[in-house]
Amino acid sequence: MNTQPKPAFTPVTNKFESLREVARNATSESLAPVMSNKYGEAVLTSEVSLQGFNVNSQKELRRWENTGVRRVAWDWETVQYKYRTHPKRFELTIWHRDLTLCGASIGRPTFSGGKLRLDYLESSPLGTKLDGLITDITIATYAVYARAIGAIQLRIMNPVNMDVRDHYLSKPGFSYNRNGDYCFRNLT
């Protein structure tokens, strides 16, 4: 029996971090030059940056945990620790002017690899200039990354309540799978 050795973790991790970076850059370039937030205010795309998780995002996420006004009390440090061994994971932080963390999300491909799950998505509980744009920016980046890794379906897992589920379903192409408790969109 002739088996190929598994590739080393670091080169695989670097490969997928590179794909995540390409997805973030491609999404940044594809956004309209001016977007409108949920208050109808103009937001310059040049003031929006898409990044992975880093020391700054961890610090800001800890601040979110201490606000007392979050819709869901996710422990982002534990979440990031849990996903660190998934080299193909999707991770995104969305910043306004590189100063204000506006959104964070993380997920991973299904075990078959054909679908990309978004397991955690949160916008700042404090309100930001990007209110109303976080889900759209996340889905756009998520779709680019899904295609890069060969996934054919996006899944947003376990919406926290019916209002959140309906928010996801308002996005183009999304349907709901009651049995699996996820919203999904097929990529064509």
For residue 98, what pLDDT is reported? 93
What is the mean predicted confidence (pLDDT) over 12-36? 94
Distance CA 178, CA 66 (A): 33
Alpha carbon 140 to chain centroid, angstroms = 9
Q: How far apart are CA 64 and CA 62, in angstroms?
A: 5
What was the pLDDT predicted at 148?
A: 95
Q: How confident is the model at residue 116 (pLDDT cuts 50, 70, 90)?
A: very high
> Across all residues in the chain, what is the average pLDDT?
93
| pLDDT at residue 11, as a whole number | 80
| Structure letter (DSSP) for residue 116 | E
Q: Is the pLDDT at 22 greater than 80, yes or no?
A: yes
CATH architecture for segment(s) 9-186 = 3-Layer(aba) Sandwich (3.40)
CB atoms within 10 A of CB 82: 15
| pLDDT tens digits for range 134-148 | 999 999 999 999 999
Q: Which residues of 163-181 are buried (b: 16+ CB within 10 A; e: fewer)?
A: ebbeebeeeeebeeeeeee
Q: What's the pTM?
A: 0.92
Per-residue pLDDT of 69-115, as tens digits, reads 898 888 999 999 999 999 999 999 999 999 999 999 999 999 988 99
Please give the pLDDT value at position 2: 59
| Residue 5 predicted with pLDDT over 70 | no
Domain limits of the chain?
A: 9-186
3-state secondary structure of 91: strand
d(CA 130, CA 100): 10
User: Nearest Cα to 149, choosing from 90, 95, 104, 97?
Assistant: 90
- Does 9 have pLDDT greater than 80? no
Categorize the per-residue pLDDT at 6 as very low, low, confident or very high, splitting at 50, 70 and 90.
Answer: low
Spell out the residues 6+ positions from residue 52 whose beta carbon is closer than 8 angstroms to its own.
Answer: 17, 20, 21, 24, 91, 92, 93
Please state the rounded mean pLDDT for residues 33-55.
Answer: 96
What are the respective helix, strand and coil percentages of the chain, to the nearest 5? 35, 25, 40
